[in-house]
Amino acid sequence: MSTFLSDHPKVKIIETATDRMVDIVGEGFDLAIRGHTGQLQDSNLVQRPLARAPWYLFAGPEYLERVSQPEQPEELASHSIIALVSKGAQQWQLQGPDKRVVVVPIDPRFQSNSLISLKEAACANIGVAALPGYVCQAELRVGALRQILPEWMAADARITALIPYRTGLLPAVRTLVDYLAVVMPKVTAFDRS
């Protein structure tokens, strides 16, 4: 957003970050950016895909030295787990390179709705976390995190812009969405090297 605002000095943005499902129209938002797996609910909102953001499994190096590094998804049952707060079943559905899906029941040691907190817990060697790959790039480069089971994806997430109307779109909103459609794929690209 900083770069966008620098390039567009007359634009003003009010950002609200939340993990609750916002009524975009009812609450008067011009735009929502949602991370999600699967399809979003069919609605009157205009949906514009922005980027893929696949999730993988990560753990701190000291944690992996204390316990055996898992070679198969089923081995995660004996590991300390760091996970998003979930109202549903506590499980990870991991997809392998052959599109095979393995459901792994989990009993998280630490849960949060903050990706930053989950990443910090993994860096602090608390256990294994499922996180978007792009969120962990810097920590992987400096060795604060290691990717485990690299052939397995924890979630095939997407980032989508939701706009409450088809006509009458403010030029600044249209410009921002167009900008995000170009920038987001670069930001969320995950370099495994």
The pLDDT tens digits for 41-60 are 767 888 899 999 999 999 99
Q: What is the pLDDT of residues 100-125, one digit of tens each?
A: 999 999 999 999 999 999 999 999 99
Q: What is the CATH classification number for the domain harbouring 120? A: 3.40.190.290
**Do 38 and 108 share a domain, yes or no?**
no
Closest CA to 119 of 92, 156, 82, 64: 82
**Do 73 and 136 share a domain, yes or no?**
yes
Closest CA to 34 of 150, 139, 128, 160: 160
Calculate what percentage of the chain has a pLDDT beyond 90. Answer: 69
Residue 193 lies in a domain: no
Q: What is the CATH classification number for the domain harbouring 176? A: 3.40.190.10
**Do 65 and 123 share a domain, yes or no?**
yes
What are the DSSP calls for 19-73, one per residue?
SS---TTTTT-S-EEEEESSPPPP-SSEEEEEEE--EEEEE-HHHHHHSPPPSSG
Tokens of 125: 């060697």
- pTM (predicted TM-score): 0.88
Range(s) of the domain holding residue 124 = 55-148
**Mean pLDDT in consecutive groups of 10 residues from the start of the chain, 193 residues:** 93 88 86 87 84 96 94 94 84 92 94 95 97 96 96 94 81 93 93 69
